[in-house]
């Protein structure tokens, strides 16, 4: 896959020797000591996480819902931290968007033109016309939900079809076909070995964004080995396993460094 962001991620992988993507899911009730329990404290905490980790990861993934929960102030924080990252590593806004065409066009404009994100997450249920406004941002990257490991994934994703396959398999096969045209499509796959192996067997080259490592039970080493593509690249997301390891503002750098070292295994 020849895309500028793929080249950036490979370059960062070489520099950091990781495929770590750090999730930013801010929660005022979970702030460590030393930070004020308000949106100002939240902003300082997120910027401190970034400052302590930016040389040890290849992407950040802020989940927009955690910012939306604090209204306009929360969205201002999201804009500020993206500016704080300052293109040092790519930013994936986890928005799980995808609606009828004209609505998706506005969603894409919001994420890419307003926030200047490098990538986002999408859901595929409404088909190509709901995703194409995103795909048409050719310099951006788009991770579409494929095979997740939440308990409810069995409700739809693993339903058997008359073609002797599952809905999730059909989604990933279809994304593979679309990617021949757009060259900027990846897949969200949960961090369990069986899910990753199943998805990887469908297509060896699609880039996977892999949530579920750390507090959710997945391991970095397993996720990388099962989820890497032909270029030995994957984006392995850890959120609470890093932010939740911080005990106090004064020790944030040491706490994050220790958490990352515990999570990571040599590639």
Residues forming beta bridges with residue 92, ordered by sequence position: 119
Inter-residue contact 47 to 262 (CB < 8 Å): no
CA 184 to CA 162: how far, in whole Å? 30
Of the chain, the end-to-end C-alpha distance in Å amounts to 21
Specify the pairing of strand 141-147 against strand 119-122.
parallel
- Helix (H) / strand (E) element for 46: namely helix 39-53
Residues forming beta bridges with residue 62, ordered by sequence position: 24
CA 172 to CA 204: how far, in whole Å? 11
CA 15 to CA 131: how far, in whole Å? 33
The catalytically annotated residue of 10, 15, 83, 96 is 96
Residues 240, 212, 92, 3: what is their CA dihedral angle, to the nearest 10 degrees? 140
Active site residue 249: no
Q: What is the CA radius of gyration of the chain?
A: 18
Catalytic machinery residues: 96
């Amino acid at each position: 896959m020849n895309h500028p962001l793929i080249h950036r991620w490979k370059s960062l992988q070489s520099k950091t020797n990781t495929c770590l993507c750090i999730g930013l899911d801010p929660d005022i009730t979970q702030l460590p000591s030393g930070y004020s329990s308000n949106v100002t404290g939240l902003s300082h905490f997120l910027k401190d996480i970034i400052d302590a980790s930016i040389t040890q990861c290849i992407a950040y993934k802020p989940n927009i819902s955690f910012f939306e929960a604090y209204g306009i102030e929360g969205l201002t924080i999201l804009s500020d931290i993206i500016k704080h990252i300052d293109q040092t590593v790519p930013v994936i806004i986890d928005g799980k968007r995808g609606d009828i065409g004209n609505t998706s066009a506005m969603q894409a404009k919001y994420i890419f033109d307003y926030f200047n994100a490098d990538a986002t997450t999408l859901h595929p249920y409404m088909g190509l016309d709901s995703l194409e406004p995103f795909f048409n941002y050719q310099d951006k990257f788009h991770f579409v939900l494929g095979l997740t490991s939440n308990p409810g994934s069995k409700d739809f994703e693993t339903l058997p079809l008359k073609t002797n396959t599952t809905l999730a398999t059909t989604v990933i096969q279809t994304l593979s076909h679309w990617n021949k045209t757009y060259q900027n499509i990846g897949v969200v796959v949960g961090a369990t070995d069986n899910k990753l192996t199943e998805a990887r067997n469908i297509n060896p080259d699609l880039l996977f964004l892999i949530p579920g490592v750390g507090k959710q039970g997945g391991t970095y080493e397993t996720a990388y080995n099962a989820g890497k593509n032909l270029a030995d690249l994957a984006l392995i997301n850890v959120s609470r396993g890093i932010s939740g390891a911080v005990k106090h503002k004064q020790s944030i750098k040491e706490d994050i460094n220790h958490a990352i070292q515990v999570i990571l295994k040599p590639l």
